[in-house]
Amino acid sequence: MNENNIKVFAPATVANVVCGFDVLGFAVNEPGDEVVMRMTGKPGITISKITGDNGRLPMDPAKNTVSVSVQHYLKSIGRNDIGLDIELHKKMPIGSGLGSSSASTVAGLFAIKTLLGDETDVASLLPFAMKGEEMACGHGHADNVAPALMGGFVLIRSYEPLDVVRLPHPEGLYCAIIFPDVDVPTREARQIIRKNIQMKDAVTQWGNIAGLVSGLFLNDIDLIGRSMKDILVEPVRSMLIPDFYKMREIAMEMGAVSFGISGSGPSVFAFTRDEDTAHRLTQKLQQHLTGIKIGSNIYVSTINDKGPRAIG
């Protein structure tokens, strides 16, 4: 980095974390996205290059989540006089359920904050990142952007007013991620969720959320595992993911602590107690998907406590 040029990496995230729909998420080490940002002499934002998206993302700065969120940030600090050029390098699959738009948006916001020497807490960027999410999927939720921005495991206690809490987690927890090559658009995945639920189901769900958060604080991996059950959203969304329940059966038989959908899918993830189990599990699930003629990407990671960072 120099005073007028920076390259930033921001991580993928797992949102919902099975039972915590729209309120829980955590960051992983890989995959992620990269943004290169340069100061220019002419006011306004341009996007000069996007790679890795197969032409799917808009170059128009009024329609791209990175530039839109950066513009909101600049407006809030009264710096619309600034000129920026942005390159976006997608290093993770779009529509994966791993917070693809969040990673791009967070990388852009962290880049401009760093270039301007803004020393406020990184969490102050969250409302601007949520603007990017609103553009990407029609709903400005924070369970992807908050962990991507702040790192670690995050609870969104409230949206109005916005109240975000960073949670502890066991050091030895590994995340095994499998992204099947099928299309599950976030907007559509939200539309199939039930609008009304029974009280007994709500009680079960919030008991599981409380159990998961307690397990994180207590370093109790068994409690984390038995709390990661979702009776509200997963039964519907799992229908969009080929062989979801078979994959869960394989994962649990191989020693996974838990198994569920990442975000709106189609990515699925498992927590394991060690790295070796995570690697064996992802390879086994990839073999299973290959057997039903579905390609996949696999990733193994600890929980990423750093969030975005300058690179190169």
pLDDT at 114: 96
Q: Give the catalytic positions in this structure.
A: 133, 186
pLDDT of residue 132: 80
Q: 264-278, pLDDT tens digit by residue?
A: 899 999 999 999 999
181 pLDDT above the threshold of 70? yes
Q: What is the mean pLDDT of the chain?
A: 93
Q: What is the pLDDT of residue 150?
A: 97
Predicted local confidence at residue 224, as pLDDT: 98
pLDDT of residue 89: 97
In whole angstroms, what is the distance from residue 194 CA to residue 191 CA? 8
pLDDT of 152 reads 97
Q: Residue 194 has what pLDDT?
A: 72
Q: Taking residues 206-216, what's their average pLDDT? A: 98
Percent with pLDDT over 90 in the chain:
85
Residue 263 has pLDDT above 80, yes or no: yes
